[in-house]
Amino acid sequence: MSGESARAGGKQLTPNNVLITKRQALGWSRNRAARELERIGRGRGLSVPEIGTIEKALYRHETGRAVCRDPLYIELYCLAYEATAQDLFGEIEPTSVANGEKFGVRSHKFVAAYIGAERVEALAAGGVVVKALPRCGLECHSADIEHTEGERCLYVWPFGVALFHVTEELELPNIACLAVWRRKTYERELEWASSYLSELTGSSAEASYVLSAYWLHTPSWLGHEMDAALRIMCAPRVLLERDSEATESSLAHAELVERALLSEGYAPAEMVPFGIKGISIGYASWSGVVYCPTAPRRALAEDELVTIELATQAMWAYCEYINRQVEQGVDPKVPEMYGWRFLRGVRSRLTNARPQETGQHRSMRTAILDTSGLIDHMSQAIDILRETSER
């Protein structure tokens, strides 16, 4: 390293030899590296500067004239050199939040399985589950479950659906940690639920999916980042590479993506808002739901959100069973009292406003139903059951 490279303005510089070595190992000049970074960035749909600006930044980052803190450049370097942020820059700071604090959120997981009306009847008759309060007019039974991780409750509906509601209190430094935790625990929850139901019923049972709703009670973001943060939490998978495992490397990449999205904003068209300015911020998507009561005494209650999700996921799992039977070339068999007329009635109950319903509740219900695709799912199941009943 020349004296000019080692010093600038009398200040000792610390070159980033990892960046230099990675570039040289590929046989790239700085100009070639700048062109590759631009190509990668545009391929990812990122807003990248001109090549001359990238080359100048690359020179400053390599020679130590500037510490690389820009999420865009960090991500580009990681992609170009197939390395993690820790590999290239050492320890990286956590995502920027207000005063560096962690955020507090309650995670509600809904783990669904179809076990059949006969098994549900047997569980109720045997006293394994007891009658619970109806959810959106749907009669059900429930039982609390002892478990070392979070509060767990099993709900069963007479039309054959079993649904676990798992509640966990989380305190995290950034949303990337939530995304990695979510991916890691989903597979574990499906395995646990399948095993538990199989043992409980004495026959094979398989949980089919997990959906999450997040109740953000202690936010750590300020200004425009607050809205972007909730949108990311609504669909945290956006931070992770497709099919990547939940590792330290995937966490580092997720943190970089999170920084960029918090800075640039994140507003996918398919995400539906249902908050009210000055009272709450809420979003629903195919991936899940997030809600933050900024004025708790005027906002929705947490149980209102949970109740809607329990009913929605119970019906979704039931319709999934019906539609899956058809896809396998079999006419679905369901108890007559839970046939197409029953589904038609539930569809009406879920979609039509109630006389005492508030505007906030209606907005939430509509957003969740629209993004879940449940109404189309139910309509298809109604047509199937009506057709098979007329044969």
pLDDT in tens, the chain (391 residues): 333 444 444 456 788 989 999 999 999 999 999 999 999 988 877 778 889 889 999 998 999 888 887 778 888 888 899 887 777 887 544 444 444 578 999 999 999 999 999 999 999 999 999 999 888 889 999 999 988 877 899 999 999 999 999 999 999 999 999 999 999 999 999 999 999 999 999 999 999 999 999 999 999 997 778 999 999 999 999 999 876 665 556 788 889 899 889 988 899 999 999 999 889 999 999 999 999 998 888 899 999 999 999 999 999 999 999 999 999 999 998 999 999 999 999 999 999 988 888 999 999 999 999 999 999 999 999 999 999 876 6
* Structural domain contains residue 94: no
Domain shared by 130 and 253, yes or no: yes
Question: Pairing state of beta strands 130-131 and 141-145?
Answer: antiparallel
CA distances, 216 to each of 108, 208, 279 (Å): 11, 26, 13
CATH number of the structural domain spanning residue 53: 1.10.260
> Which pLDDT score is estimated for 371?
97
The residue out of 69, 89, 109 marking a domain boundary is 89
Q: Tokens for 342?
A: 């029953």
* Structural domain contains residue 96: no
Question: Which DSSP category does 276 fall into?
Answer: -
Q: Which domain holds residue 83?
A: 3-89
Domain shared by 275 and 322, yes or no: no
Q: Are 108 and 215 in contact (CB under 8 A)?
A: yes
Question: Which DSSP category does 339 fall into?
Answer: S
> Which pLDDT score is estimated for 364?
96
* Structural domain contains residue 95: no
Domain shared by 313 and 362, yes or no: yes
* Structural domain contains residue 116: yes
> Which pLDDT score is estimated for 50?
87
Residue type, 96: S
Domain shared by 81 and 136, yes or no: no
Q: Where are the alpha helices (DSSP H) in 220-301?
A: 224-234, 248-264
Three-class DSSP category at 47: coil
Q: Are 351 and 375 in contact (CB under 8 A)?
A: yes
Q: Are 363 and 306 in contact (CB under 8 A)?
A: no
* Structural domain contains residue 237: yes
Domain shared by 271 and 374, yes or no: no
Domain shared by 153 and 235, yes or no: yes
> Which pLDDT score is estimated for 318?
97
The domain total for the chain is 3
Domain shared by 111 and 218, yes or no: yes
Torsion of CA 41, 42, 45, 46, to 10 degrees: 50
Q: Tokens for 114?
A: 């179809």
The residue out of 254, 279, 300 marking a domain boundary is 300
Domain shared by 357 and 274, yes or no: no
pTM beyond 0.85, yes or no: no
* Structural domain contains residue 326: yes
> Which of 223-250 are b and which e, b meaning 16 or more Cβ less than 10 Å from the residue's Cβ?
eebbbbbbbbbbbbebbbeeeeebeebb
Return the closest-CA partner of residue 306 out of 148, 208, 167, 112.
167
Domain shared by 313 and 296, yes or no: no
Domain shared by 266 and 157, yes or no: yes
> Which pLDDT score is estimated for 134?
86
| % helix, strand, coil for the chain, step of 5 | 50, 15, 30
CA distances, 254 to each of 83, 177, 238, 242, 250 (Å): 13, 8, 9, 12, 6
* Structural domain contains residue 15: yes
Domain shared by 314 and 282, yes or no: no
The residue out of 59, 89, 119 marking a domain boundary is 89
Q: Summarize pLDDT for 263-281 with one digit per residue, the tens.
A: 888 999 999 999 998 899 9
> Which pLDDT score is estimated for 246?
57
Domain shared by 58 and 124, yes or no: no
* Structural domain contains residue 383: yes
